[in-house]
Structure 1
Amino acid sequence: MKKLKTLLAATFKEFNPRRYLKMDEIELENKQNGVAYRFAQRIDIVDMLAIERDVYDGEVPWTFSHFEHEIVQNENAFFIVAEIDQKVVGFIGARVTDKGKKIHLSNLAVLKKNQNHGIATTLIKQIVRLSKHLGKMQMTLEVRRDNTKAQGLYRRNGFQTEHLMPSYYEDGGDAIWMIKKLRNDVDD
């Protein structure tokens, strides 16, 4: 156990574990197919904003302060980033909700040039593993009704449509609420 704690300390230098995370029991699958995965830090926010601009054609749905609050202050939230050659190319955000019973995916984005290489799927799998280790039984998210590409990604990763949320977004766009039931095992 001491070796694992030392390894985690080196892997997550500067990462301040939230109180609900049992970090001595959780390991990210650090490197897959040339992509490294780690917990996000405040310094990553500038890259995350650039990814949003790329994915949302110049728009930034979340501001620096939104990300900063979730990464630095919110004890019920965490982000994982994907890096290629030490450059952040994607991220996923999650928040513990419903009195600690569920995990809600708040954001998922991968630079356009790095899409369709399995990065988004691996980010989702990382959150699923963490959620299972934390003992959560369900994950939720909302996705734009007109974003069929993202809906397909989520369905391929076990999410199912729960219901429509009319006029959910500021521009009046509809959202689809999706859920994923988690099994008790943590081997995925």
Structure 2
Amino acid sequence: MSAGEPPALRIARPADVSRLVALEAALFGVDAWSADLVAEELTGPGRTVVVAAPPAGGPGTPSAGPVVGYAVLGVAGDVADLLRIGVAPEARRTGVATALLAAVLDVARQAGAERLLLEVAAGNAGAVAFYAHAGFAEIHRRPRYYRDGSDALVLQREL
């Protein structure tokens, strides 16, 4: 997948669970979600899981390859939470995360949410910069939030 080629996005299917679990393990290590939890997110109330794959032949065509990124959104009333976003290392810096974020922002708006919240590791400079560029602002810090003892920043964006 090249940097100028947008990924094909779609709603996750049960057949995607094994790839999502593999990505979880590779990206989040000890904080990775289990297969059962990933499967529950596909059908949970207020949940939407969007996946990205390399495009097959142009806009609107089915994806040609495996899932290379995903985002999990939860919406409850006027608040949406970006619960997870991940991109395979080989697909980073190709627009996958930007496309996934845009997709979940659209889903959140359509569901009636007025703001989107997320948590990100304070030491993850790349992710913090990505979210700042997308219009998110820090509203809180959670000390020692992650298993490794690192802090989480709670970020918000009005929709």
Q: Give the shorter-chain TM-score range.
A: 0.7 to 0.9
Provide the residue aligned with 1:48 in structure 2: 20
The one of 119, 127, 148 aligned to 1:171: 148
Q: Which of 60, 67, 71 is the matching residue for 1:88?
A: 67
Could you tell me whether the CA contact under 8 Å between 1:54 and 1:112 is conserved in 2? no
Q: Which aligned segments of 4 or more residues in structure 1 are displaced greater than 3 angstroms?
A: none
**Secondary structure in structure 1 of the residue aligned to 2:67:** strand
RMSD: 1.6
TM-score, normalised by the number of residues in structure 2: 0.86
Counterparts of 2:7 and 2:119 in 1: how far apart (Å)? 26
- TM-score w.r.t. the length of structure 1 is 0.73
- Report sequence identity in percent: 27
Partner residue, 2:41: 70
Q: CA offset at residue 59 of structure 1?
A: 4.6
The one of the two structures with greater contact order (alpha-carbon pairs below 8 A, sep at least 6) is: 2
Report how far residue 41 of structure 1 moved. Answer: 1.3
Aligned to 1:162: 139
Structure 1 pair 165–180 and aligned structure 2 pair: CA distance change class (3 A): same
Q: How does 1:5-84 map to 2 (within 5 A)?
A: 33-56=5-28, 59=30, 61-72=32-43, 74-84=44-54
Matched residue pairs, number? Answer: 147
Q: Greater CA radius of gyration, 1 or 2?
A: 1
Where structure 1 has 5 or more consecutive residues not aligned to the other structure, the ranges are 1-31, 183-188
CA distance in 1, matches of 2:68, 2:95: 12
